[in-house]
Chains A and B, each alone.
Chain A
């Protein structure tokens, strides 16, 4: 058997915010026919070399849930890379509908904090591989505290204790967003990320703070992240995915090109 340097690559994940079946954060793609069409944006990212996509639904009512299921169906029909769907998922039924329509993974957040048994129930029914637990946290007096409702509501839960519990309950992956870094474009929360990665035996996705190519390099090297998620730097073409991956490769980081 030949010895080659085969290894699992670091993943680059664009995140699309969705409301009523449309992308909400402004996108700056001149070649996009319909800037609000998530399916079209998703296929462009897939062609540019994105390894996965995350769709975060910020609509809330039942009516809009149906729209989300339809969107998931069209995305699955069109793109040939994996994608995760999150936002407001709170029951086994919610997950069932999304997976049946073609989502590869779902991400749960506040609903898991409110009722941690939900993680076990989802894992038992669908398997660890498709259950991502998203954790939003903020540093308060040297302690990382978990926040809910998109980071607005603080809890007493410690990030690391909660992450460990999430792993023990069977989640397949953790998506950690630092509220202190999100939107700053000053880089990811690498110290906390590295600590999470050392503590856990499941993959960790870094989120919040991407502003430059070096930030991605740092979160893979110093933050020991398995994947990095970003939104606006991709949507506004401040960073192009293929350029990013070429540069990461040049830095010796394994990426799929």
Chain B
């Protein structure tokens, strides 16, 4: 299986590489359009600030490529947020794969949300054999609200999307690579798609 992690200079990807390696696979880090198109699975990571990450995608032309991919694609954290219609962070126009607008948590809670929270209302093959209310690790200040593409929900300040899916596109707000054994199982489910 050919797994490609999209390399656009947005954040630390070493942990994702290691998580895939622990499952017994090798992942390649690439920004080459052909290599990305020919992969069996594509992982779209992201850490940091939305508008600068989006600018990096545009500079490489990857913003045009990602929405046209046909194989399973998994956006992680900011990667998932950039797959949405827009983000309030830096007034960013996203890739528009998911029909949701990413907004910031209110001042009623501490921001960022850092730590372990539970996921519920699990749908889709991404969560096969994952128990309801499993704990996953998150670090984020912005969230995607609940929408028709929501396949897992979580609650902090409000109920929000912990995971999204539309056709071959998947996104998780949490970090499967840092979410202990549950996270490994979710990554394995993605690789099994």
Q: Do A and B come from one complex?
A: yes
A interface, CB within 8 angstroms of B: 1-2, 4, 6-11, 46, 51, 73, 76-77, 80-82, 99-104, 126-130, 172-173, 200-203, 226-227, 256
Among the interface residues B118, B120, B184, which one has the most CB atoms of the partner chain A within 10 A? B118
* Residue in B11, B21, B137 whose CB lies within 8 Å of A82: B137
| CB closest chain-B residue, reference A46 | B180
Majority DSSP secondary structure for residues of A touching B: loop
Q: Are A127 and B49 in contact, CB atoms less than 8 angstroms apart?
A: yes
- Whether B167 sits at the interface, judged by CB under 8 Å, is no
**Count of A-B contacts judged by CB separation below 8 Å:** 111
* Residue in A2, A77, A82 whose CB lies within 8 Å of B120: A2
Q: In the complex, which range does the number of interface residues on chain B fall in? A: 35 or more
Compute how far the CA of A104 lies from the CA of B183 in the bound complex, rounded to whole angstroms: 16
Q: Are B47 and A129 in contact, CB atoms less than 8 angstroms apart?
A: yes
Q: Are A127 and B11 in contact, CB atoms less than 8 angstroms apart?
A: yes
Q: Are B14 and A9 in contact, CB atoms less than 8 angstroms apart?
A: no
A153 → B minimal CB distance (Å) = 29
Compute how far the CA of A8 lies from the CA of B108 in the bound complex, rounded to whole angstroms: 14
B interface, CB within 8 angstroms of A: 11-12, 14-15, 18-19, 21-22, 47-49, 107, 110-118, 120-121, 133, 135, 137, 139-141, 146, 153-156, 159, 175, 177-181, 183-184
* Residue in A6, A99, A173, A202 whose CB lies within 8 Å of B12: A99
Q: Are B118 and A4 in contact, CB atoms less than 8 angstroms apart?
A: yes
| CB closest chain-B residue, reference A98 | B12
Known A-B contacts A1-B121, A202-B110, A226-B115; the reply to A80 vs B135 at CB < 8 A is no
Known: A8-B117, A102-B14, A128-B112. 14 other contacts (CB 8 A): A1-B159, A6-B117, A51-B115, A76-B14, A76-B18, A77-B18, A80-B177, A80-B180, A81-B180, A100-B14, A104-B178, A129-B114, A129-B140, A172-B112
B178 surroundings in chain A (CB, below 8 A): 80-82, 104
B77 → A minimal CB distance (Å) = 9
B11 surroundings in chain A (CB, below 8 A): 126-127
